[in-house]
Structure 1
Amino acid sequence: MNDHFDGDNRTDPPPMANERATLIGFLRWQRETLAMKCSGLDAQAMATRSVAPSSMSLLGLLRHMADVEHSWFRRIMAGNDIPRLLCTKENPDADFDGAVAEDAVVEEAWRAWRHEVAFAEELVSQIPSLDTPGKKSDPWRGPMSLRWVLIHMIEEYARHNGHADLLRERIDGKVGQ
């Protein structure tokens, strides 16, 4: 049943803009793509795993991206000394492992993801230059510029949106661009 999504309301990135507006536009489009892939599903569908033994699900991806947004923008760029949103040293896969078919878990995942995206958008709007480093260094790579973080986030969403395409098609046959 290969149906397409009705009313694709994603905002196209600007075709003629400066680097900052282009990066922000592509990141917004990737975020909107994940939201579209997860839209209109109940908790059972959101928690549907891809194939054994993988723990990947749309709900897990949504939780994972909330955790990734939190880590890069709150912890690295803003320098907040706070723990990860979901994952810990003891449970590095908590984002996927905790993606269970419960309405409250789905609602919390949406709330957390939207909250982290809003924080990131506000923070990015206040940082004057793409060359501005985060207030904390990444433990593996050292200091990171806003430019690097934005490009990494685009890459992170793009990779996982490919997973989301396959998961959604498996759930109800919906495909997109």
Structure 2
Amino acid sequence: MTVPFPEPTAPAQSRAEVFNRYLDYFRDRLAAKLRELPPADLRASGLPSGWTPLELLKHLTFVELRWLEWGFEGRDVGDPWGDQRDGRWYAAPGDTLDGLLAALDSQAERSRAVIARHDLDEVGVPGERWDGDPPATLERVLFHLVQEYARHIGHLDIVCELAGAGTGE
């Protein structure tokens, strides 16, 4: 583990720093768990829902893109749903663990920049992401991202356990 757990007692300069610490921690855990899996298990699903670990990785990268760049900032990002095909998560045959982890790292840099440019109580730009609802504040978006990562890291724990790889934090 290269990024320590963001203990609640560790001093932080701001709430934004706390969110960044949690997101960095979860990204690190995601990468570590994926690297522990046997290569064949990265594209296989042992679960009834059918998702694969590479699909999960691509999904979480696009979740950050959708919520922060496309949703909150209202920017044109090309295909904000590029992680999905036919209503399912999707990783192309040419997608590799290294390539998708590099994309996650690149997205993390862009996400940190979005967080640095805005106050947590700032409201997002109205747009397609909100499906006609009022846009959320950056803080609400970041809470959503933290819960999304936490939930999916738990899902990945199950896959790792079934594959005989490490589980837990």
Alignment partners' CA distance in 2, 1:110 and 1:43? 14
SS of the aligned residue for 2:96 comes to helix
13-22 vs 30-39, greater mean Cα deviation: 13-22
Aligned pair partner of 2:74 in 73, 79, 85: 79
Q: TM-score, normalised on structure 2?
A: 0.82
Percent of aligned pairs sharing the same letter: 23
Q: 1:115 to 1:92 in 2, by over 3 A?
A: farther
Q: TM-score, normalised on structure 1?
A: 0.79
Partner of 1:33: 29
User: How many correspondences in the alignment?
Assistant: 163
**Which residue type is aligned with residue 114 of structure 2?**
L
Q: 1:134 to 1:108 in 2, by over 3 A?
A: same
Alignment partners' CA distance in 1, 2:90 and 2:2? 31
Contact 2:37-2:165 within 8 A present in 1 as well: no
Contact 1:63-1:99 within 8 A present in 2 as well: no
Alignment partners' CA distance in 2, 1:64 and 1:109? 10
Q: 1:1-177 alignment to 2 at 5 Å?
A: 8-13=1-6, 15=9, 16-17=11-12, 18-41=14-37, 43-52=39-48, 54-82=49-77, 83-87=79-83, 91-93=86-88, 96-98=89-91, 100=93, 104-127=95-118, 129-137=119-127, 138-139=130-131, 141-177=133-169
C-alpha deviation, 1:161, in angstroms: 0.5
Alignment partners' CA distance in 2, 1:62 and 1:87? 9
Contiguous gaps of at least 5 residues in structure 1:
1-7
Deviations 1:47-68 (A, max 9, x none): 120223x222211110110110
Contact 2:58-2:83 within 8 A present in 1 as well: no
Contiguous gaps of at least 5 residues in structure 2:
none
Alignment partners' CA distance in 2, 1:35 and 1:111? 10
C-alpha deviation, 1:153, in angstroms: 0.3
**Which residue type is aligned with residue 96 of structure 2?**
V
